[in-house]
Amino acid sequence: MKLTGLKESTLDPARATFDQVVEAGDGFTHVVRKGEILRIVDLEGNQAVDTLFYNAEDPIERYSAVDTIRNQGNVYLTTGTVLCSSEQRPLLTIIADTCGRHDTVGGACAAESNQVRYALDKKYMHSCRDTFMLTLATECPSMTKRDITANINFFMNVPVSPDGGLTFEDGVSGPGRYVEMRAEMDVRVVISNCPQLNNPCNAYNPTPIRVLVWGWAAQ
């Protein structure tokens, strides 16, 4: 499948003000200030990175898949995409992307979807929704599972069929590919580095990712 929107960054990882590896299956949260640059790196390729974004000052305002898709007229995300909030304001803008397309309709794996999509005995496997809930409970106690809404799946390949159906296919990413975003307001990012073992999105082999942030002085 042909990739579009490819653009490399000029930022030097050695000058990042924040740099952390997130292991497969782990959760992560961090506040990215307005004007800072966030990069998510697929270290080994074909990993799925389930991600939520919130206004750091008022988490009632959060990433809106519906508004983002409508405003850009495309279900896939890539360079130039503005990630819109539930208040119709820009949260972040994708400014570089070496993967070329990212999913915003496939949702996060959960106990219920594992059971329905795969088998009854898969229900209690580790899932992204569980990771989101654990991360919010431990890092953002004022937020609850009611705050978990539609997420982005960076690097994940979820083609939309002509009749509107979804399929989960082999990933289109590769080792070292990344997506980079500029924060348009203070944003809290919440990540579940997907532990999914039952679909080909990550070649049935969850792997680590790397998260970097550049402040104004380091850009």
Sheet holding 27-32, edge to edge: 27-32, 187-193, 49-55, 152-154, 102-103, 76-77
Among the listed residues 40, 34, 93, the one whose alpha carbon sits nearest the alpha carbon of residue 68: 93
DSSP string covering 126-178, please? --HHHHHHHHHHHH-TT--GGG----EEET---PBPTTS-B--------TTEE
Task: Determine the Cα–Cα distance for residues 194 and 181; give it in Å rounded to an integer.
Answer: 20
- How far does Cα 174 stand from its chain's mean position? 16
DSSP string covering 91-136, please? EEEEEEESS--EESSS----HHHHHHHT-GGGTTS--HHHHHHHHH
Per-residue pLDDT of the chain (219 residues; tens, 9 = 90+): 344 689 999 999 999 999 999 999 999 999 999 999 999 999 999 899 999 999 999 999 999 999 999 999 999 999 999 999 999 999 999 999 999 999 998 787 755 555 555 544 554 556 788 999 999 999 999 999 899 999 999 998 876 767 766 666 666 889 999 999 999 999 999 999 987 766 666 677 889 999 999 998 788
Task: Determine the Cα–Cα distance for residues 175 and 118; give it in Å rounded to an integer.
Answer: 28
Q: Diameter of the chain by CA atoms?
A: 52
